[in-house]
Structure 1
Amino acid sequence: MILELADIRIQPGKQAEFDAAIQRGVADVISKAKGFSGFKVHKGIESPERYVLTILWKTLENHTMDFRESPAFAEWRAIIGPFFAVPPTVEHFSLLAESE
């Protein structure tokens, strides 16, 4: 399992609109992608324009190739991209350890 972590900074004052857009984008687009296994969205408390989106993919290629090279990626970016203050930082992680 691969964890995608996206650090997203949006334009000030757009939180309510972005909250709805990111949830719609995940439900309507990403959740249908090959290898998608779940997600979480966290909102910043000290930095209300900051969001952390984590998505579980079965393989790295499910995200980097199957999804990002598909028309669905453009659809996803059309939903959430207008809110970005700067391009998001996206990295991938493999699990080292976890609690029971």
Structure 2
Amino acid sequence: MILEHALLNVLPTRTKEFEAAFAQASSIISEMPGFVSLRLSRGIESPDVYLLLVEWERLEDHTEGFRRSNEYQQWKKLLHHFYAPFPVVEHFATPVVETPEA
């Protein structure tokens, strides 16, 4: 399992628009082969910063499958104009330590 992580700095005056667009975009990514789950959380101290966590079965499901797809072009069209600066996306491997949910 691979965890994709991105901090999304959204233009402060466009957070409501971004959230509506992201709701649309989430249906695009969730249909991709290798997609497992997605979580988008809004910052408390910085409410224009969002944390995006996406789980993929394999790294290539994101980097090759999604990023090279026509669906990614739709994703970009819906979301990329909200970011300043553009986010850095990183991938993480299986957890080193994990506690069970309470």
Structure 2 residue aligned with 1:18: 18
State the TM-score, normalizing by the size of structure 2.
0.92
Gaps of 5+ in 1: none
User: Which stretches of structure 1, 4 residues or longer, exceed 6 Å deviation after superposition?
Assistant: none
Q: What 5-or-longer segments of structure 2 have no aligned partner?
A: none
RMSD: 0.9
Indicate the residue corresponding to 1:6 in structure 2.
6
Q: Deviations over 1:51-71 (max 9, x none)?
A: 111000000000000110111
Deviation at 1:4, TM superposition (A): 0.2
Question: 1:11 is aligned with what amino acid?
Answer: L
- Secondary structure of the 1:56 match is strand
Equivalent position of 1:78 in the other structure: 77
> How far did residue 32 of structure 1 move?
0.7
Q: Structure 1-normalised TM-score?
A: 0.94
How many residues align? The count is: 99
